[in-house]
Structure 1
Amino acid sequence: MILNPKKGENGQEINLNGKNVALKECLGIRHVQILMVFLLTFISFGMKVNLSIGIVAITDDKVNPGIPTFHWNTEEKGLLLSAIFVGYVLPQIFAGILAKRYGSKWILTFSMGFCALFTCAIPKSAEFGVWACILCRFLQGLCQGFFFPCVHNLISLWIPCNERSTMGSFIYSGCTLGIVIGMLLTGELSASIYGWPSAFYIYALFGFIWMFVWAFIGESSPKNHKNISIEEKLYIINSYGYSCTDKSKKILTPWKEIFISRPFWGLLIVHCGQMWSYFTLMNELPTYMNTILKFDIKENGVVIALAYFVAWIASFPFAIGTDFIINRKMLSIGNARKIATSIGLFGPAIIFLIISGVDDLTTIKVVVLIMTGLSMNSATLSGFQLNHIDISQNHAGTLMGITNSCANLCGIITPIIVDIIVVDEYDPTQWDEIFLLSAGIYLISGMFYIAFGSGEIQEWDKI
């Protein structure tokens, strides 16, 4: 089949049997897939944080009299909050292999369905005791552990190389926006006449709706989508520069080659460094703002939500700028990723050093610095976060599974480290040590990535 050259609205062309074929659609099937995956990350992070906010109402009968509450101690609440991370890290590598072998569509469909089911079960499970609730959170995490490896697999197959930074960052920015909306929505629902259970029911509903829509319109690859045009399909496939392995065949994972690969280790270290400080802020910032900056609970939630919202907005210019630099060939893919990552890690590290080293900072200045740090950190979405796909089209989901499982162990470790260092929550000098530790980890992991990272497809990807 040979198509004659046509002029498209966006001027992009593909080659089919020696002929240039214009891509007519400014908006195509790939954008529908991208929007759905963005909603997946948005909903999943709302499910993650709604307990972090809702646990106040769950354990305090003064928040909403008439709604059932449960008197769990500090240790039980800590186990409840960390249970989702324990479940989350377990299936990551397995999920990447499954997505590579069978495609991501139905894995995401069923994992979101079960995640919504366990979210819906939390209010009822609380009546049976804290351990029933912990089990539900663990199973939520187990389901969500399939998400990111599958998302990376979808990005590697659905997003053309010249759109990867912008569209990939848009997808993962759903995590940040999910935190913002999840915090605000959970707070409002917990204080309403419907009480804290409604926050879990509404997110379960979101999950079920997403599952049914995705089952009808989602697809693992443009090669398998029934409604995609031949022009758009070939525009996506030809953008990679070489053919990915046929997904109908068994794909062997080159484990030895991966684990002796310097670019892989660069990714692993920087991912762990990023998530260490990210989890430290996400878990401990509310306490710091309450005990040191003297914000009450209501002000705390608004300020933190605003900080993450500003970070979500900031992710877009970083993503667009990274794609611009790559597409104009101003820098190589690897160097563009390193610059974005450097902004996202070294910028916040400097800010943490300022907060810990300057004694006379006002509350407003500290809040502005934290917002600036979170905003700069969003550059990592167009940096190392997408680098798995740059170095391996065929094994991107597996690579994400490995690095993400290791990185998310920090969600379990960081609260323990903070508890060891911060003995007195009202002592600012102990919090300064936390900021210094986070800055050091950012700097070391960022320099490691600059030294060992790459933007080139590795030879072991073609094995």
Structure 2
Amino acid sequence: MDNQVPPRKVPNFCSIRYGIALFLLLCNVIIMSQRVCMSLTMITMVNSTEPRGLSNTSTKEPQDNIKNPVYNWSTEIQGIMLSSIFYGILISQIPAGYLSGIYSLKKMVGSALFLSSLFTLLIPLAAEFGEALVIICRVIQGLFQGIALTTQQVVWIKWAPPLEQVRLTSLSLSGLLLGPCVVLLITGFICDSLGWPMVFYIFGACGCALSLLWFVLFYEDPKDHPCISKSEKEYITSALTQQNGLLSSLPHLFAWIFAILAGHMSDVFLSRNILSLLAIRKLFTLLGLLLPALFSLCLLYLSSSFHGTMIFLILANATGSFCMGGILINVLDIAPRYYGFLKGFTNVIGLTGGLVASTVTGMILSQDQDSPWLKIFFMMVANNVISLIFYLIFAKAEIQDWAKETQNTYL
């Protein structure tokens, strides 16, 4: 056992690493403000007594024609506009995770925040040209927000000592909760006093300013930062020589993010009648079983560096959370009456599978000295593919006859 005494802890509030966490908190406040503000401004943007859904022409009061333009958007178009940002976020997750191990985090986070803010500034102008441009701006905005939210977590690989990883990560991510609060407090006031376009201009401008500060103030490695104290630099670098805890936590963090995303997107698909319930369950089960198998193969054949290995490990674990919108909730569709019993029963099967997998893995590692992990990963891939094929063939999404409540009728 290593008997070395750990370096003295550097005060939290006078450290560069906590400054980075606070800066990311502000970035996340702005990102969430840009994402949510349209939900509130929409009330003013379509507050018209004219028949809606006929055109994009605006209905404007004589004295208010610049301050608060009003558009004849149908409720369907409004729903698409509000949800379109999540399509961009969904598309960006996997590429962002992969690219974060290749390109500079300073450039990726800063550029993503800047471009998200830029398209926020363009939304009032896009609204003048048609609802299609607003939807496109929102999708692109979501694309860059997804990149910023995903890549910023990689910052803590080099900046967070293992004993502070949860504290620093939660501090920075708390901005996602504070952002909607800020929007609710000030958006109504801005709309009343300055007009709804100023909401987008203010949040967009703040995001641009923060992105420029990020380029100036952030350094990817503690040893390169010109303002960091010697004691803090030694504390971080020495603590990261046993950084396995942080690296092990990243797959779980991204799994949590993907699970929330899967749940939201499945509800959006269902509420907008984009896909049937059965198609939604099959889609997210396919993503949750096929993507881990795919990234496991990438781990075997494409990971030529430490960062590449970590990225594929994280994605292979995290993308399994897409099953939250598929097979893991499917029991509630087919037998809500027996949901508790069936969920417990399936959990027992899952735990048994985990015990068997651990035992088999141990046996392979002890008996095969040449390429044990190759066999283990191929077994996992085969299990996922076979399970997926079985589910796609036999899955149902309606209440089964045996699960329906029987009603006794008396003559």
Q: Is 1:59 aligned with 2:80?
A: no
Q: Which amino acid aligns with 2:41?
A: G
Amino acid at match of 1:105: K
Equivalent residue number for residue 195 of structure 1: 195
Aligned length: 289
Opposite residue 176 of structure 1, the aligned amino acid is: L
Superposition deviation, residue 131 in structure 1: 0.3
**Distance verdict in 2 for CA 1:28–1:151, change over 3 Å:** same
1:45: which partner in 2?
32
Whole-angstrom CA distance in 2 between matches of 1:117 and 1:31 = 27
SS at match of 1:71: coil
TM-score (norm 1): 0.52
Instruction: State whether residues 89 and 145 of structure 2, in contact with CA within 8 Å, keep that contact through their aligned partners in structure 1.
Output: yes
Contact 1:272 1:403 in 2 (8 A): no
Q: TM-score, normalised by structure 2?
A: 0.58
1:183 counterpart letter in structure 2:
L
- What displacement does 1:101 show? 2.2
C-alpha spacing 1:197/1:93, structure 2 compared with 1 (3 Å): same
Closer/same/farther in 2, CA of residues 21 and 221 from structure 1, 3 Å limit: same
Instruction: Answer yes or no: is the 8 Å Cα contact 2:109–2:148 preserved in 1.
Output: yes
Which residue pairs with 1:310 in the alignment? none
- Structure 2 CA distance for partners of 1:224 and 1:97, relative to 1, 3 Å: farther
Kept in 1, the 8 Å contact 2:256–2:318? The answer is no
> What's the offset of the Cα at 1:59?
0.8
SS in 1 for 2:45: helix
Match of 1:349 in 2: none
Letter of the 1:226 counterpart: P
Aligned residues of 1:219 and 1:225 also touching (Cα < 8 A): yes
Partner of 1:253: none
Distance 1:25 1:267 in 2: 26
CA apart distance, 1:126: 0.2
- Return the match for 2:23 from 22, 36, 45: 36
More contact order relative to length (CA 8 Å, sep ≥ 6): 1
- 8 Å Cα contact 1:92/1:149 also seen in 2: yes
8 Å Cα contact 2:222-2:233 kept in structure 1: yes
- How far apart are 1:224 and its partner, in Å? 2.7
* Structure 2 equivalent of residue 152 of structure 1: 153
**Residues 1:121 and 1:280: Cα distance change in structure 2 (over 3 Å):** same
Matched-pair contact (CA < 8 Å) for 2:161–2:243: no
Identity of aligned residues (%): 26
3-state SS in 2 of match to 1:32: helix
Partner of 1:173: 174
Tell me if structure 1 keeps the 8 A contact 2:190–2:196: yes
The residue type equivalent to 1:31 in the other structure is Y
Distance 2:323 2:38 in 1: 19
Q: Aligned in 2, Cα 1:138/1:112: closer, same or farther, shift over 3 Å?
A: same
Gaps of 5+ in 2: 50-58, 271-305, 327-332, 355-371, 374-411
CA distance in structure 2 between the partners assigned to 1:408 and 1:38 by the alignment: 27
Distance 1:183 1:102 in 2: 36
Alignment correspondent of 1:236: 236
Partner of 2:98: 97
Q: Can you list the C-alpha shifts for 1:185-228, whole angstroms capped at 9, x where unaligned? A: 222222x1311111101101110110111111112221332222
Structure 1 unpaired stretches of 5+: 1-14, 245-260, 285-391, 415-432, 453-458
Cα drift, residue 37 of structure 1? 1.1
